[in-house]
């Protein structure tokens, strides 16, 4: 073999390795996106299972009680004040739970998976 042939082969191998390196980088990004989506769907699935389980138990508990108890009057002021307090607290708790599960709750990245630790926007939103 001549020197030119060897250098041509080395250059060809080097070009091929560069192309493979770029393909590998693209594949790594696709795998990362798939893993993030898989994690998001898994957590969403777990939350839906919890909600379904919770609603199922509430429904089962409500059946025997509905037979013997009366329904509170709609003009009862305590009924609505308690409901408002529960809604506000429950919403905050849900946002805090979502944040601790790894999702953004701020208006900038809402619903995206947090991959780089704490988000100052989310934390300031929780502290309001």
Residues annotated as binding site?
A: 104, 106, 119, 122
Q: Which residues define the annotated binding site for Zn(2+)? A: 104, 106, 119, 122
DSSP string, 18-63: HHHHHHHHHHHHHHHHHHHHHHHHHHHHHHHHHHHHHHHHHHHHHH
């Amino acid at each position: 073999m001549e020197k030119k042939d060897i250098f041509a082969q080395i250059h060809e191998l080097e070009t091929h390795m560069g192309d493979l390196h770029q393909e590998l980088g693209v594949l790594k990004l696709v795998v990362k996106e798939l893993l993030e989506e898989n994690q998001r769907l898994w957590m969403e699935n777990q939350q839906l299972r919890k909600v379904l389980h919770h609603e199922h138990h509430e429904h089962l508990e409500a059946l025997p009680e509905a037979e013997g108890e009366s329904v509170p009057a709609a003009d009862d002021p305590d009924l609505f004040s308690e409901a408002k307090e529960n809604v506000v607290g429950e919403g905050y708790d849900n946002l805090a739970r979502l944040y601790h599960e790894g999702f953004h709750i701020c208006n900038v990245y809402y619903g995206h998976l947090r991959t780089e630790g704490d988000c100052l926007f989310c934390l300031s939103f929780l502290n309001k």
